[in-house]
A = this chain, B = another copy of it.
Amino acid sequence: MKENKYDEERFFEKYGEMPRSRYGLAGAGEWPALEPLLPDFSGKEVLDLGCGYGWHCAYAAAHGARSVLGIDLSEKMLAAAQEKNAAPAVTYRRCAMEDLVLPDSSVDIVFSSLAFHYVRDFVPLVQNIARWLRPGGAFLFSVEHPVFTAYGSQDWFYDAEGNILHFPVDNYYYEGPRQAVFLGEPVTKYHRTLTTYLDALLTNGFRLARVVEPPPPESMLDLPGMRDEMRRPMMLIVSAQKPA
Contacts and interface: CB of A to CB of B under 8 A. Distances in A.
Interface of A: 147, 150-151, 157, 165-174, 193-195, 198-199, 202-203, 207-213, 215, 230-233
Given A210-B199, A211-B199, A215-B173, A233 B193 contact: yes
A165 to B, nearest CB: 7
Given A193-B213, A198-B211, A212-B195, A230 B168 contact: no
B172 A233 contact: yes
A202 B194 contact: no
A196 to B, nearest CB: 9
Q: Can you list the 7 inter-chain pairs with the closest CB atoms, starting with the nearest?
A: A166-B168, A166-B170, A198-B211, A173-B230, A167-B169, A173-B215, A195-B213
A202 B240 CA distance: 11
B170 A167 contact: yes
A50 to B, nearest CB: 23
A195 B168 contact: no
A231 B171 contact: yes
Contacts of A168: 157, 165-169
A215 B170 CA distance: 13
Contacts of A232: 150, 169-170, 172
A228 to B, nearest CB: 10
User: In the complex, which of the residues A168, A195, A210 has the most CB atoms of chain B within 10 Å of its own CB atom?
Assistant: A195
Contacts of A230: 171-174
Contacts of A212: 195, 199
Given A172-B233, A194-B211, 15 more contacts: A147-B147, A147-B169, A165-B168, A166-B169, A167-B170, A169-B169, A173-B215, A173-B233, A174-B230, A198-B198, A198-B208, A202-B209, A203-B210, A207-B207, A207-B208
A204 to B, nearest CB: 12
B170 A151 contact: no
